[in-house]
Amino acid sequence: METLLGQTYMSKYRFVLQSGMLAGLVAVLSIPSILKVLICTRQSSAPNTAYRRYLRTILHTQAWYLYAPEPKNSKFWISLRAVRKAHSRSSRACGKLGAGTITQKDLALTQFGFIGFITLGAYRIQLYDQEFLEATSHMWRVIGYLLGIKDEYNICGTNWNETRLRLDIVLRKVYTPALENTSKDFEEATKALLNGLWPVNTTLTVGSFLFMTKRLAWIKGYEYYNFDYRPGTQSDPNQYRYYKDLNWWDRFIIFYGLFLVTYLHKYNVIRWYLNFRVWLNEQITYYVPYIGMIMFGFKWAYNSECTIHHHHYTQELAKQMETQFEVHNIRNDLPQLINLILNSCPLMILKPFEL
């Protein structure tokens, strides 16, 4: 079954899949109709709310990759139903407030965010796995359908060649122009998203990741390598290079990240290292989100539907922490905090992800 085959690639290409999806989430914010709904829901306007919302998005996506679509009560289906319900609720609420509703077009453009950059840009990281492209295209066609996208709006076709043509049209006609002319609301939402997800990946910076996202969308001035030009176009010596505007840390992150995925990701040992690093970050964020605690407080880091299951002892642990540490001074108490968490771990019941 191709859907299950598509799911198997999360373990093989976890790092680039997650990176491509995050770039897609940033790009989606450049679509005015989608951004208006997100602003209306007030779930993405600040780092703490963005942390909760986008971590939930990441975990939903993992459920679609990691759990089998059978039986009907599997976490694959529980996740899909939860997302459809959330879309319906947000659409109705924002419609009443005059911010617009979630349309089929918005769903299709969001679908691009999950699949577009990693598939269209696969050759740019020397990923020539045709079976991966076919299986991923089919899997996201099915998921799009299950999320309520009608066939005439589904960005994934019956095979990869059909999907590739659709994705390329959407990139050229929608995302490239949108990312060339972004609004102040986009900038604020992007900062909230990336700063909110910093506890999940501490190498994230707004400058570096926005540069890499625009590079993937073929925005002029955001080229890094000589092959970073749309096929059929040439380098313009008079084009301003926005890389010059970045600070040294952003430049280092871009160099390090692009060098790894462009030239080294094809080697199994490097791919294993990158995948393991993402997996480890996921486990820490899922079970002991200590950076989230430091940045946003215990309530936001732990009392969320997208982290660990709350047993009585876990809540008692949180109360102990709240009593012993003031949030505004918590950075000074970090060693003591980590020691308390480690000593209390036997009290914590770590259950699988519950939606």
Whether the CA torsion 199, 201, 207, 212 is positive or negative: it is: negative
- Quick one: tokens of 348? 């914590």
How do the domains of the chain map onto residue ranges?
1-230+238-296, 303-343
Which pLDDT score is estimated for 238?
84
Coil vs helix vs strand at 147 = coil
The segment with the largest mean pLDDT, out of 23-37, 89-103, 228-242, is 23-37
pLDDT 10s digits, 276-286: 999 998 888 88
Whole-angstrom distance between the N-terminal and C-terminal Cα of the chain?
A: 26
Chain mean pLDDT for the chain: 82
DSSP 124: G
pLDDT at residue 353 greater than cutoff 50: no
Distance CA 83, CA 352 (A): 19
pLDDT score of 48? 84
Q: How confident is the model at residue 302 (pLDDT cuts 50, 70, 90)?
A: low
Higher pLDDT, 90 or 15: 15
Helix axes 2-12, 268-287, angle to 10 degrees: 90
Q: Alpha-carbon distance 283 to 336, whole Å? A: 21
Q: What is the pLDDT of residue 310?
A: 37
In a 10 Å sphere around its CB, with 0-12 CB exposed, 13-18 middle and 19+ buried, how is residue 236 labelled? exposed
* pLDDT at res. 226: 86
How confident is the model at residue 154, as a pLDDT?
94
What percent of the chain lies above the pLDDT cut of 70? 84
- Whole-angstrom Cα distance, residue 275 to residue 342? 25
In this predicted model, what pLDDT tens digit does every residue of 94-153 receive, in sequence order? 888 888 888 899 999 999 999 999 999 999 999 999 999 999 999 999 999 999 999 999
Q: Is the pLDDT of residue 248 over 70?
A: yes
- Identify the residue with better confidence: 326 or 116: 116
